[in-house]
Structure 1
């Protein structure tokens, strides 16, 4: 079910489904971005490094998390645009085989000062692994319509 502006309130909490990061995910992301860094692609190189093995690209994890938050249609009836991120931190590594989940809450909700019938929603976001450790965190802001759109459009 898609939420609309009137359904949202400060402090409202959400959590996504989970997703396990696979070899195929990392290889496909490397191919799409051209980032073939050995820490992502070479087990022998990565095993000798700080992480003890290959890790997923930080931006791969961030991209998946964005889709896990919003790709299921949570705000489909009112989302206008993704405005950006702030205070984003990469706090831990994600190894191949790790499972991530996104926990997010409404941290700010206000009407736009410059655009009629628009509001700004800011989520406080944590991406956690299967052990509950926060691997990335920060804030994501979206522009929403404050007008009631018919449900099921």
Structure 2
């Protein structure tokens, strides 16, 4: 079995993801998958005159990319049972096509469950662009296996 188990995790542990550039193809594909073809994402002319000055990526697209970037860390590997919840997620700044994002993660809560073979881990997640500007933030809750049930 690979990965960090619930019993190995400690409050304050931090994990930083790799970076990923948001492309035109990402936005177009997300439009198709989500059905969200809003002008914010699809009309360059209208957005040129907006307060953004250009099209922006879907907030939910960036959130989805963050889940993928976090998964690529492979820190929890076989120990991850479920991605259980997103708490208090906020979209703070727009992400533009061509921006590069990354996520900083910190374990802020650990608690065993009533089932002795698992525990709940809460990570604070902050998403930054290439200028180190915070663009999204919130908490992600996961259910992890325990190495040795209590």
Residue equivalent to 2:118: 118
Residue equivalent to 1:65: 66
RMSD across aligned C-alpha pairs, in angstroms? 1.2
The alpha-carbon deviation at position 49 of structure 1 amounts to 1.0
Residue equivalent to 2:23: 22
In 2, Cα distance between equivalents of 1:102 and 1:28: 22
Residue equivalent to 1:90: 91
Structure 2 runs not aligned, ≥5 long: none
1:127 and 2:132 are equivalent in the alignment:
no
Residue equivalent to 2:5: 4
Moved over 4 A (4+): none
The alpha-carbon deviation at position 50 of structure 1 amounts to 1.7
The alpha-carbon deviation at position 42 of structure 1 amounts to 1.1
Q: TM-score, normalised to structure 2's length? A: 0.93
Residue equivalent to 2:136: 136
The alpha-carbon deviation at position 116 of structure 1 amounts to 2.2
Count the aligned residue pairs.
Answer: 147
The alpha-carbon deviation at position 24 of structure 1 amounts to 0.3
Deviations 1:39-60 (A, max 9, x none): 1011101111121100000000
Structure 1 runs not aligned, ≥5 long: 149-153
Q: TM-score, normalised to structure 1's length? A: 0.92
